[in-house]
Structure 1
Amino acid sequence: MNKKIINKYTSDNQASNLPDYQQCYQHFKWPSVTTQLNIAYQAIDSHLNTSNENKIALRWLGKQNQCVDFTYRDLAEQTSRFASVLNTLGLESGSRIFSLAGRLPLLYIAALGTLKAGCVFTPLFSAFGPEPIRSRMEIGEANVLVTTMSLYRKKVAKWWQELPHLKAILLIDGAGVLDDGCYALSKLMENANAGLPCVKTSPDDMALLHFTSGTTGKPKGVVHVHQAVVAHKSSAYYALDLHATDIYWCTADPGWVTGTTYGIIAPLCLGATMIVDEAEFEVERWYQILDQQQVNVWYSAPTAIRMLMKAGNEIRTKYDLSHLRFIASVGEPLNPEAVVWSERVLGLPFHDNWWQTETGAIMIANYASMPIKPGAMGLPLPGIEAGIVKRTNKESEQATLEVLSEANQIGELALKQGWPSMFRGYLHQNEKYQHCFTQGWYLSGDLAYRDEQGYYWFVGRADDLIKSSGHLIGPFEVESALMEHEDVIEVGVIGIPDDIAGEVVKAYVTLKSGVIPSEQLQKQLKGFARKKLGAAVAPKEIVFRQNLPKTRSGKIMRRLLKARELGLPQGDISTLESDEQ
């Protein structure tokens, strides 16, 4: 979409209370937290003995059209029971509790109960294959895994006892005779203490461990502390315009950071009623939920929005969406056409926002109180100082930054250190963590620019990470899995554009001498990768190449693979050794 359309759209949709943003931004101060603070207490127990106590906190919609409600009092009791189960199993504060499950009530209870017990919660995406699951549990030194019977049998049973730190498997639907070390969670919950008080934790105690992919190595464990809840709550209020009176639906899976931060913690801290749908995306079902549950605030992702657009506009006319007052998107840049479409078809524009696993909460957003520029990330949240920077002396240990002050200059998006949800480390990778900061700025790795009005615009990643359906996929992890196949000698992985997912994974494969390329082998490699990595991470396309472009030191040039794939300039190839295109 060109700038004429963007400017016209902006001028036609001026918000009357824009000065509210400027006033709030200039005078905002983060509350100082120096005493005890626990995320679970803020999300659940703080509502006890208030008008929210008997209010619906979580409404669960099952695949078979079940509907189960949990009040704030119910969640307080159930999360205490889960914390009591951990105590009974001998788990101490700081223990690592991992989850691997779909959107089931006990997953949400386990997440909050873990924090209530003073333990560390780590969600895993249930569509991962065995290898991504195992690598993350090894790096994170998992003590307990909460999962289902089906996922346990398919992805965990064969190897979990090889992990030295793993003490127990809690099976959400466990029943009958179970493997040694496995427990039926529901049965344990029945005899647990529903009145167990929340453990008193300090603001800097580790609370959440999220994993994000790396380009050249294993996944990174991103450490967040209990103080992050200050930003969780504040950002939901400012960026999502979320209030206690709202019915709120975040469609993100809890296996990802958005599904934890804004699908569990933030809405409960604000006293809202949140909708949880067990089923996967289906156009008519989503419209039905928005209609029947009278959703006020809806937080979704560009992939899902594009699928709604693809389904056409006629289906939307069957449903009453008059209760919707604010809709937002996250995960990857939302294309401008989607904003204009939602205004026309849904009656509201989608408000895009930007943040990362490392930032812990929304940093830049299009507010309800400001005009939207379709395609822009928006303006920094109160309490957040953003900037566009350029790294200088990159090869030196004394690397410095130049802050680009003029509008429309492309550089790296950076944030001034110090906000409450800023990550406190990469687990066991302190050097990599320290490399993220220079001269008091956190360097995001995202390229962007700031326009004349201060709006930030995403340009692309500065590294090779692939963003598919809002999830970051590390090419190294995919390459490593394919390299385990007996016929493969070399692999290069890139992301290529996709109308629905944004990007999908494409793999260039060099076969061992004597192995003949074939369509059958392509299918076999795809299946091999899906079994190891899961469908969400495995390549959607595989092509064979006799040689891959490499530097003289032998490093595969993913940048060059992508340039050739997309017909872009190849740039500096002075370090390239000969290859066949």
Structure 2
Amino acid sequence: METHGSQLLGASSYKDPITSFPLFHKFSVYWSLVLKELSISFVQPPNCILDTSSDPSKHGGTWLPGSVLNIADCCLQPSSFPNKQDDSVAIVWRDEGFDDSEVNHITLKQLRQQVMLVANAIDANFSKGDAIAIDMQMTVNAVIIYLAIVLAGCVVVSIADSFAPKEIATRLRVSNAKGIFTQDFISRGGKKFPLYSKVIEAAACKVIVLPVIGNDVGVQLREHDISWNSFLSSGKQHRSHHYSPFYQSIDSVTNILFSSGTTGDPKAIPWTQLSPIRSAADGWASIDIQPGDVYCWPTNLGWVMGPTLIYSCFLSGATIALYHGSPLGHGFGKFVQDAGVTMLGTVPSLVKAWKSTKCMEGLDWTKIKTFCSTGETSNVDDDLWLSSKSYYKPIIECCGGTELASCYIMGSLLQPQAFGAFSTPSMTAGLVILDENGVAYPDDVPCVGEVGLFPVYMGATDRLLNADHEEVYFKGMPLYNGKILRRHGDIIKRTVGGHLVVQGRADDTMNLGGIKTSSVEIERVCDRADECISETAAISVSPANRGPEQLVIFVVLKNGYNSDAETLKKKFSKAIQTNLNPLFKISIVKIVPMFPRTASNKILRRVLRDQMKHELSVHSRL
């Protein structure tokens, strides 16, 4: 199999150079196999794998047209392909602070019964098609609620538990959510942090509140809100424990996720029932997720990795491992050991913290056969340390997007891997690297440029709820082999050896701790942090030896005002954590007399970024 650029299964031009099979025949062969291996069960099977004639406005064609299913039901039912049985362990978990207790577990049959119980309660409180938000930690109950919402024919609205009230309110408004599941508190690092109080500041709709500890909610609820126990009781009164899934067409929306744009509201990205299939397929093909694997990835349902983890495990027959607490300490590492985790997902900043604090010393992680990493640029030294924890097992790098429901480039166990790099486009995905004039470099040439994705991409969005999909992803993109390329926004480098390295974003979107945000969002908050500020410019830079992006704020002061960088850093940090996200950390504040600008007066953040990279490079050599 070729590994350079677009020369992968279904990703070269519209004839295969080896077999001469048409592109769509290869798609049919591959995806037919995947549907079987992932135990996808249709109530009404598709007419074909891909139809490119029915709707010319869809650049990637119509996938699995005519099919009807419920993707949550596929997750919950036993299947011989894969070997997923009622007594298979579906989830293992442990609560923080109980490091010496036995690991808890729930079987597939028990999980199905719990999901049906919650689905009955959803029917008693909501209507089919309602959008229902989840803003809570990634716990067993969160997974049950997620599957129950989809099983009941409603739509999950994904909200991260770290968001400030304003960000929660925006997502509830854009999605028109009719209700929201949350917790009274967040338990992390041995401390409790308020969550319900943040949610009710943002939400006028009904809130269903789960206790973080014990059976009783630890806060006073509003009159129209309801406790978890009362909510479940409403389902028991409504119907029996059995539940009949709500079957829908393949293109029905099941989940609304969000990705920051460069201005205004975050993009509301709808996942249809195609999206989980794509997510699970990438894990099956590149990471080799199989029945019997125990897959752990500290994440949240507010981010794409939350739903991806659920579907990757349950459609492949693997077990999800969940730690109810902070992944930063020894307790998490001991859970990985005790749960027998075979696949561990990370973000680079998490690995850096483990390495620097030495909190994972003395643990046995040798059951891990594969590490995965996404969200940020990896640091080679940190990767080497991580790999050494399990006899130098491979680290599979993953890079994609919420709107793709997948990774467009990945590592692969079938190819030699390099730390911090990708070895191939994902299966049936195609890409080219464009020069400054929008012309594609040859597939075997080392180069750097903006990536352009082939539009025939199974699982990628064909709509946005609050933006023009055509304008966001296709307007202004060049033609390649007669098709308009899909915009993704990454700058990538192809090395002499054919590996791919992500160099950053083509626009002013930045990636902070695995969370994409924009310069404009950061600047809007910082501009109001102190009266001395005339203007700010936010950029992110990666260290010289790679690693997570660092947030840098440039400041121009008003005439006649004085301040210092350290004072402003504290004020900016407080403003960002209050109004945007408490996980965003400022590395550097730099006061400058003016900003470089274009002829139309736009700030040249690219110039500021280059200047800071140069300063950091010089500093690292001293």
TM-score range, shorter chain: 0.7 to 0.9
Matched to 2:71, the amino acid is I
**Contact 2:377–2:546 under 8 Å retained in 1:** no
State the match for 1:88 in structure 2.
Answer: 124
State the match for 1:184 in structure 2.
Answer: 227
What are the within-5 Å matches in structure 2 for residues 102-251 of structure 1? 102-150=137-185, 151-161=194-204, 167-173=205-211, 174=217, 178-192=221-235, 193=239, 194-251=241-298
Q: Indicate yes or no: 2:475 matched with 1:435.
A: yes
For 2:465 and 2:84, locate their aligned partners in 1 and report how far apart those are by CA, in whole Å: 40
Q: Indicate yes or no: 2:316 matched with 1:270.
A: yes
Partner-residue secondary structure (3-state), 2:278: helix
**CA RMSD of the aligned region, Å?**
3.0
> CA offset at residue 510 of structure 1?
3.7
Partner-residue secondary structure (3-state), 2:226: strand
For 1:55 and 1:100, locate their aligned partners in 2 and report how far apart those are by CA, in whole Å: 28
Once the two structures are overlaid, the 10-residue window that deviates more, 502-511 or 267-276, is 502-511
From the superposition, tell whether residues 231 and 525 of structure 1 become closer, same or farther in structure 2 (CA, over 3 Å). Answer: closer
> CA offset at residue 406 of structure 1?
4.0
Partner-residue secondary structure (3-state), 2:86: coil
State the match for 2:87 in structure 1.
Answer: 54
For 1:381 and 1:333, locate their aligned partners in 2 and report how far apart those are by CA, in whole Å: 18
Partner-residue secondary structure (3-state), 1:443: strand
**Contact 1:239–1:362 under 8 Å retained in 2:** no
**Contact 1:43–1:266 under 8 Å retained in 2:** no
> CA offset at residue 237 of structure 1?
1.0
**Contact 1:389–1:404 under 8 Å retained in 2:** no
From the superposition, tell whether residues 123 and 501 of structure 1 become closer, same or farther in structure 2 (CA, over 3 Å). Answer: farther
For 1:489 and 1:404, locate their aligned partners in 2 and report how far apart those are by CA, in whole Å: 46
**Contact 1:448–1:460 under 8 Å retained in 2:** yes
Matched to 2:600, the amino acid is S
State the match for 2:614 in structure 1.
Answer: 567
Q: Which runs of 4+ in 1 moved over 6 A?
A: none
Partner-residue secondary structure (3-state), 2:542: strand
Matched to 2:246, the amino acid is V
State the match for 1:79 in structure 2.
Answer: 115
**Contact 2:540–2:549 under 8 Å retained in 1:** yes
TM-score where L is the length of structure 2: 0.78
Matched to 2:117, the amino acid is R
**Contact 2:378–2:548 under 8 Å retained in 1:** no
Q: Cα deviation per residue 1:482-517 (whole Å; 9 max; x = unaligned)? A: 234462442211113368961232223344555542
From the superposition, tell whether residues 410 and 267 of structure 1 become closer, same or farther in structure 2 (CA, over 3 Å). Answer: same
User: Residue 475 of structure 1: which of 492, 509, 519 is its match?
Assistant: 519
Q: Indicate yes or no: 2:374 matched with 1:330.
A: yes
For 1:140 and 1:377, locate their aligned partners in 2 and report how far apart those are by CA, in whole Å: 35
Matched to 2:605, the amino acid is R
From the superposition, tell whether residues 447 and 486 of structure 1 become closer, same or farther in structure 2 (CA, over 3 Å). Answer: closer
Once the two structures are overlaid, the 10-residue window that deviates more, 411-420 or 201-210, is 411-420
**Contact 1:121–1:208 under 8 Å retained in 2:** yes
Q: Indicate yes or no: 2:354 matched with 1:319.
A: no
For 1:525 and 1:382, locate their aligned partners in 2 and report how far apart those are by CA, in whole Å: 43
For 2:614 and 2:221, locate their aligned partners in 1 and report how far apart those are by CA, in whole Å: 55
For 2:79 and 2:230, locate their aligned partners in 1 and report how far apart those are by CA, in whole Å: 27
**Contact 2:474–2:486 under 8 Å retained in 1:** no
Partner-residue secondary structure (3-state), 2:321: strand
> CA offset at residue 62 of structure 1?
0.9
From the superposition, tell whether residues 481 and 143 of structure 1 become closer, same or farther in structure 2 (CA, over 3 Å). Answer: farther
State the match for 1:426 in structure 2.
Answer: 464
State the match for 2:13 in structure 1.
Answer: none
From the superposition, tell whether residues 523 and 298 of structure 1 become closer, same or farther in structure 2 (CA, over 3 Å). Answer: closer
**Contact 1:479–1:491 under 8 Å retained in 2:** yes
**Contact 1:75–1:109 under 8 Å retained in 2:** yes
From the superposition, tell whether residues 75 and 497 of structure 1 become closer, same or farther in structure 2 (CA, over 3 Å). Answer: same
Q: Cα deviation per residue 1:89-127 (whole Å; 9 max; x = unaligned)? A: 23322x222211112222111111111122221222211
> CA offset at residue 57 of structure 1?
0.6
**Contact 1:48–1:72 under 8 Å retained in 2:** no
User: Across the two proteins, how many residue pairs are aligned to each other?
Assistant: 531
For 2:395 and 2:282, locate their aligned partners in 1 and report how far apart those are by CA, in whole Å: 17
State the match for 1:355 in structure 2.
Answer: 400
For 1:209 and 1:229, locate their aligned partners in 2 and report how far apart those are by CA, in whole Å: 13
Q: Cα deviation per residue 1:150-188 (whole Å; 9 max; x = unaligned)? A: 444442323423xxxxx3111122467521331112321
Once the two structures are overlaid, the 10-residue window that deviates more, 500-509 or 272-281, is 500-509
Q: Indicate yes or no: 2:384 matched with 1:340.
A: yes
Question: What stretches of structure 2 of length at least 5 have no aligned partner?
Answer: 1-17, 33-48, 50-63, 186-193, 212-216, 617-622
Matched to 2:173, the amino acid is E
Matched to 2:345, the amino acid is Y
TM-score where L is the length of structure 1: 0.83
**Contact 2:326–2:332 under 8 Å retained in 1:** no
From the superposition, tell whether residues 136 and 435 of structure 1 become closer, same or farther in structure 2 (CA, over 3 Å). Answer: farther
Matched to 1:111, the amino acid is Y
Question: What stretches of structure 1 of length at least 5 have no aligned partner?
Answer: 1-21, 162-166, 393-399, 570-581
From the superposition, tell whether residues 224 and 403 of structure 1 become closer, same or farther in structure 2 (CA, over 3 Å). Answer: farther
Matched to 2:416, the amino acid is P
> CA offset at residue 40 of structure 1?
0.7
For 1:327 and 1:181, locate their aligned partners in 2 and report how far apart those are by CA, in whole Å: 45
For 1:501 and 1:338, locate their aligned partners in 2 and report how far apart those are by CA, in whole Å: 9
State the match for 1:260 in structure 2.
Answer: 307
Q: Identical aligned pairs, as a percentage?
A: 19
What are the within-5 Å matches in structure 2 for residues 298-309 of structure 1? 298-309=344-355
Q: Cα deviation per residue 1:265-311 (whole Å; 9 max; x = unaligned)? A: 21011111111011112342233122211111222222222223324
> CA offset at residue 416 of structure 1?
1.7
Matched to 2:269, the amino acid is V
Matched to 2:96, the amino acid is K
Once the two structures are overlaid, the 10-residue window that deviates more, 383-392 or 510-519, is 510-519
Q: Indicate yes or no: 2:73 matched with 1:41.
A: yes
For 2:144 and 2:319, locate their aligned partners in 1 and report how far apart those are by CA, in whole Å: 15
State the match for 1:491 in structure 2.
Answer: 536
Q: Cα deviation per residue 1:39-61 (whole Å; 9 max; x = unaligned)? A: 21121135599862122211121
From the superposition, tell whether residues 354 and 51 of structure 1 become closer, same or farther in structure 2 (CA, over 3 Å). Answer: closer
**Contact 2:196–2:209 under 8 Å retained in 1:** no
For 2:114 and 2:305, locate their aligned partners in 1 and report how far apart those are by CA, in whole Å: 23
State the match for 2:57 in structure 1.
Answer: none
Matched to 1:460, the amino acid is G
Matched to 1:355, the amino acid is G
Once the two structures are overlaid, the 10-residue window that deviates more, 338-347 or 117-126, is 338-347
State the match for 1:295 in structure 2.
Answer: 341
State the match for 2:36 in structure 1.
Answer: none
